[in-house]
Structures are given as structure tokens and as C-alpha cells.
């Protein structure tokens, strides 16, 4: 179903790795809503090649960029404006990676150069992206920038490891940079805090299957899917949410405000 919500808008979408990626679904939905997009991902992710199918499907070009490299980001933003024929209306940051999680190091036994790498990729890259967009004056007025986050930034989820700290940092950057982007350029900046979702990054978290099932039972509306997230992001890129900014917005079926659900209680009740 298309509402033409993004007709005539142009944007960059980071982080589509395969068809499970939240960014993949978002690119498809933005295209359906009439937007022109440029896709980007880390050069190493390009080698998997799947992003080419998405580019074909959405009629978009791909510009590789490591989101931790200012040089790559500058090249990306300049080329994207050339390809799209003007300034940008939206940007999605859908990037996350923890080396400690990948290599099975516990939160209480971090290897700090891995911690720094994960922080650079997952959090600081959002500042770098916005700084490049800001300094190049690449966003149109009333444009919209969104990054994806998780509730481990507010509450403890032990196996989320150092990604919890990265997400807290990411959400803070959204507020701090969002202030300047709002004041100086009339651009809004928000984070969407998404339910656990079966993607490559999601499934990297230890015990993910139990965790997603638990969240499903806790949430009155059930877990938000990748498509739900894509739809919410489209609304934030559209002109219908012009003065929503500096927010961390939960797309989680209600999970974040539930203390306990009957479904979960049943597991603990004696006959
Ligand atoms: N899956 C979940 O359960 C869940 C829940 C809440 C939030 N999120 C967030 O959603 C976002 C998207 O993740 P996803 O679940 O779609 O998984 P995904 O694995 O499909 O996407 C993560 C992307 O980050 C990219 N990336 C990694 N290093 C990069 C770099 N240096 N430069 C550029 N890109 C790089 C990867 O190539 C990949 O495309 C992440 O921020 C993640 O933390 C995911």
C-alpha cells in the first residue's frame, strides 16, 4: 500500500545487508512511497553482493562507505547529491556491530580496542555522518534523520554487552546534534527504539531466540517487525511529523512500559 508520502524526496539509506535487514525493508518502503534513494554499506558488506538486488528493485545506485571514515562519508554525501540531483530530505543510520559480542567476550571481560571499534561503528559513526551532512549543508529544510537503537540503552539486558553503552551514546548524539540541526538547518533528528528483530545483527546477540520470544509475550501488541520499523521510519521522513525531533521513539508493541504480562506470569504460576 502506498500513500505517496515521500513523493519527490531524496535520501541515503545506510545498512542494508540482506533482505532481513531493517534498512532493506525501509529502502523498499521509501521507494514505494515515491522517494529516490542512494544505498550505502561498508565496502566489506558489498562483497556479499545482495545489495545489488535491492538496488535493482528500487532503481537506486550504491556508494560504498565505511561509516567510521570521514573521507568515505564526504565522498558518499557529495556523490549522493550529484546522483539524486540536489540536497537530501532524509537519512537512515541503520548500523551496529560489537566486536566483543562477535568474539564472545563478556561485558565483564572487555577487550578495549574492540570496545572502541564497536563504539566507533555503532555510535560515533552517527555523529560523523551528521557532521559531514551539516558541514556540507547537504540537508534540505524540514529534512529528517533517523538512527535505530535498542532499549538496552535505558534498561539492563545482560547479553546485549557493550552495545548497550553504544546505544546510550547514539541516543545522546541524536539529541545533542539534533539541537544544532534543528536550530541552524530546520532538520529533525530522532532515534527509533525497535523490538528484537531477526536480522544478522540481532541474531548475533547471545540467547536471541529466547529473548525475542520473551519480548513477544511481554508486549501487548507483540514484537514490532522490520516492516513495522520501516513504516514508522517512512512516517518520520514524511511531512506529517515535521516538529518531532530530539526524541527516542519506541516501536516495540508496548514492551517498554510493561512491568509484567499475564502471558509471562503464567510461566511462573503454580497449579
Ligand atoms: N535486530 C534487532 O533486534 C535490532 C533491535 C533494535 C535495534 N536494532 C538496530 O537496527 C540497526 C540495523 O540492524 P539490523 O538488525 O537490520 O541488522 P543488519 O546486520 O542487517 O544491519 C547492520 C548493518 O550495519 C552495517 N555496518 C557494520 N559496520 C559498518 C561500517 N563500518 N560502515 C557502514 N555500515 C556498517 C552492516 O554491514 C549491516 O548492513 C542497528 O543499529 C541495530 O543495532 C536492531
Centroid of ligand 1 to alpha carbon of 19 (angstroms) = 12
What is the number of other CB atoms lying within 10 angstroms of the CB of residue 10? 22
For the segment 30-73, what is each residue's pLDDT rounded down to a tens digit? 999 999 999 999 999 888 779 999 999 999 999 999 999 999 99
- 265 CB burial (10 A radius; 0-12, 13-18, 19+): exposed
- The verdict on pTM exceeding 0.95 is yes
Q: What is the Cα–Cα distance from 18 to 86, expressed in whole angstroms?
A: 28
Locate the ligand 1 atom nearest the alpha carbon of residue 68 and give its number: 31
Q: Which fold has domain 10-268?
A: Rossmann fold (3.40.50)
Smallest CA-to-CA distance from 144 within 130, 156, 125 is with 130
41 C-beta closer than 6 A to ligand 1: yes
196 C-beta closer than 6 A to ligand 1: yes
pLDDT of 271 strictly over 80: no
97 C-beta closer than 6 A to ligand 1: yes
For the segment 147-195, what is each residue's pLDDT rounded down to a tens digit? 999 999 999 999 999 999 999 999 999 999 999 999 999 999 999 999 9
201 C-beta closer than 6 A to ligand 1: yes
Ligand 1 pocket test, pick from 19, 20, 22 with the greatest ligand atom count within 8 Å of Cβ, gives 22
Amino acid at each position: 500500500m502506498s500513500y505517496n508520502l515521500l513523493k519527490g524526496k531524496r535520501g541515503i539509506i545506510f545498512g542494508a545487508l540482506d533482505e532481513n535487514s531493517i534498512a532493506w525493508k525501509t529502502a523498499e518502503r521509501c521507494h514505494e512511497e515515491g522517494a529516490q534513494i542512494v544505498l550505502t554499506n561498508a565496502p566489506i558488506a558489498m562483497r556479499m553482493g545482495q545489495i545489488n538486488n535491492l538496488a535493482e528493485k528500487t532503481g537506486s545506485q550504491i556508494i560504498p562507505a565505511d561509516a567510521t571514515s570521514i573521507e568515505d562519508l564526504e565522498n558518499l554525501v557529495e556523490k549522493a547529491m550529484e546522483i539524486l540531483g540536489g540536497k537530501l530530505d532524509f537519512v537512515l543510520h541503520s548500523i551496529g556491530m560489537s566486536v566483543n559480542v562477535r568474539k564472545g567476550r563478556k561485558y565483564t571481560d572487555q577487550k578495549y580496542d574492540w570496545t572502541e571499534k564497536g563504539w566507533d561503528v555503532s555510535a560515533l559513526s552517527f555523529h560523523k555522518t551528521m557532521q559531514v551532512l551539516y558541514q556540507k549543508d547537504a540537508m534540505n529544510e524540514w529534512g529528517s534523520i533517523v538512527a535505530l537503537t535498542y532499549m538496552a540503552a535505558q534498561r539492563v539486558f545482560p547479553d546485549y554487552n557493550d552495545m548497550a553503552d553504544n546505544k546510550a551514546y547514539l541516543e545522546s548524539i541524536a539529541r545533542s546534534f539534533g539541537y544544532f540541526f534543528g536550530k541552524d538547518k530546520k532538520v529533525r533528528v530522532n532515534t527509533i527504539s525497535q523490538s528484537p528483530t531477526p536480522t544478522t545483527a540481532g541474531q548475533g546477540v547471545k540467547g536471541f531466540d529466547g529473548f525475542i520470544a520473551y519480548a513477544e509475550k511481554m508486549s501487548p501488541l507483540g514484537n514490532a517487525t522490520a516492516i513495522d520499523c520501516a513504516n514508522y521510519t517512512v512516517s518520520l521522513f514524511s511531512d506529517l511529523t515535521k516538529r518531532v525531533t530530539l526524541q527516542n521513539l519506541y516501536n516495540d508493541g508496548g514492551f517498554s512500559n510493561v512491568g509484567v504480562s499475564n502471558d509471562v506470569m503464567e510461566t511462573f504460576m503454580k497449579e
